[in-house]
Amino acid sequence: MKPSPLLIATALALGFAAPGFAASSGPRFYGDPPDDHHPWAVHDGNRPQPKTVVPGTFSSADQPGRPPSDAVVLFDGAGLEKWRTDKGQPAPWRIVDGCLQAEPGTGKILTKELIGDCQLHIEWAAPRKVEGSSQGRGNSGIFFMDRLEIQVLDSYQNVTYADGHAGAYYGINPPMALPVRPPGEFQVCDIVFRRPIYQGRQVLDPGYVTVFINGVLVQDHTPLEGAGGHRQRTKAGPFPEKGPLSLQDHGNPTRFRNIWYRELPPRPAEGGTDGYLTAEAARAKRQEIAAAIRQDAATLRNPANPLPQMLRLMESLVYQIDPAALEQASAMAMAHAKSIEGLPPAQLAAKKDEVKNLSDTYAYLIKSKILPADFAPQSAFERIIRAQGWDKKPR
């Protein structure tokens, strides 16, 4: 459904940015208002705009792609300055032909940077020469916060235990498929990691991991059951807010390239405002939005043109009924309606769009139970619209 031109015109009359908010962006008094679990209206013009990201390019088996503009690059073939050993020493792995190669026997390497919820991109290749079988072929691992492992393995025509294949949430959930290329060729892996969120012992969000290998989904928003591990079943529990990303040395000279990540915005359980919020969180955010809009309304005071301030005050009521704002906006609406009713016919005709726009706005607020059903300015405008024949559709 597209916004009506009249409501767009009202939106233009409200084209003022509230302090701390993105620039106004869309019609007001249009979509369903906020509710107990959603602090924003549907199609909310006050809702912050998504950030702009310049996309990168896709990788192939032969050529790494380019990261998106907001990515944090962890390895691009140039050096290992962003990696360390678990004792804080320089990473001892080698760079071979622009690739990061595990040096068997030297141990895992970890990022110096601590990383939280993220989209991780990483590409790996098992040795071209096949040696060993099962877990002995091209074995490594990608560890989030140095605990939860997404398995790296040469799973090409290689039988091993299901929850130990490439793309497994190791020891817990097998990959749904094995879309792997032959050994020696790079596998392109994209992972979305969301850590568990606890409040004391209460689980607010269990956390999830989603994994694509070579563009094929192998972990589908898999709930986290703990760190996972070898032979022993682990238990669910809290993770730190951030931790290092680590790559495992499992005795195979597995290669890695094009490693980068993007930070993800907070979820509702940790203060995010997109999605289904608790009633308490939604109420707090609505109060914050309403206060910012009321503050903006105060800057619009202009006795010669009171409509922008009046409409902004009414907009604040969509998020929170504030008695003082309601009283002020209602008084301004009443005074404006009386001034319109007193106009001679020639001047009244010039107010047609204004009257119809405000009537639509008042109807929205009445329908949303923000203004009373007998709101006097709306009754006055309905009388004017009928008397002038503005409610009739042109033939």
The per-residue pLDDT for range 35-68, each reduced to its tens digit, is 999 999 999 999 999 999 999 999 988 899 999 9
H/E element holding 256?
strand 255-263
Q: What is the token pair recorded at 47?
A: 């809702």
- Measure Cα distances from 112 to 40, 42, 253, 255 in Å: 38, 42, 22, 20
pLDDT, tens digit (0-9, with 9 covering 90-100), for 8-17: 445 444 443 4
Residue with tokens 């679990």: 37
pLDDT, tens digit (0-9, with 9 covering 90-100), for 299-330: 999 999 999 999 999 999 999 999 999 999 99
Q: What type of residue sits at position 93? A: W
What pLDDT sits at residue 316? 96
What pLDDT sits at residue 59? 93
- Measure Cα distances from 389 to 141, 380, 385, 393 in Å: 74, 14, 6, 9
**129 confidence band (pLDDT: 50, 70, 90):** confident
Q: Which residues contact 30 (CB under 8 A, 6 or more apart)?
A: 3, 7, 11, 41, 42, 43, 364
pLDDT at 1 over 80: no
What pLDDT sits at residue 10? 52
Superfamily of chain region 72-270: Exo-inulinase; domain 1 (2.60.120.560)
What pLDDT sits at residue 24? 54
Maximal C-alpha separation, the chain: 95
DSSP state of 67: P
What pLDDT sits at residue 8? 41
pLDDT, tens digit (0-9, with 9 covering 90-100), for 153-180: 999 999 999 999 999 999 999 999 999 9
Among 6-20, 78-92, 164-178, 217-231, where is mean pLDDT lowest? 6-20
**25 confidence band (pLDDT: 50, 70, 90):** low
Q: Which residues contact 86 (CB under 8 A, 6 or more apart)?
A: 107, 108, 110, 246
pTM score: 0.87
What pLDDT sits at residue 287? 97
What pLDDT sits at residue 12? 43
Where do the domains of the chain lie?
5-50+277-388, 72-270
pLDDT at 22 over 50: no
What pLDDT sits at residue 395? 67
pLDDT at 74 over 60: yes
Q: Quick check: helix, strand or coil at residue 147?
A: coil
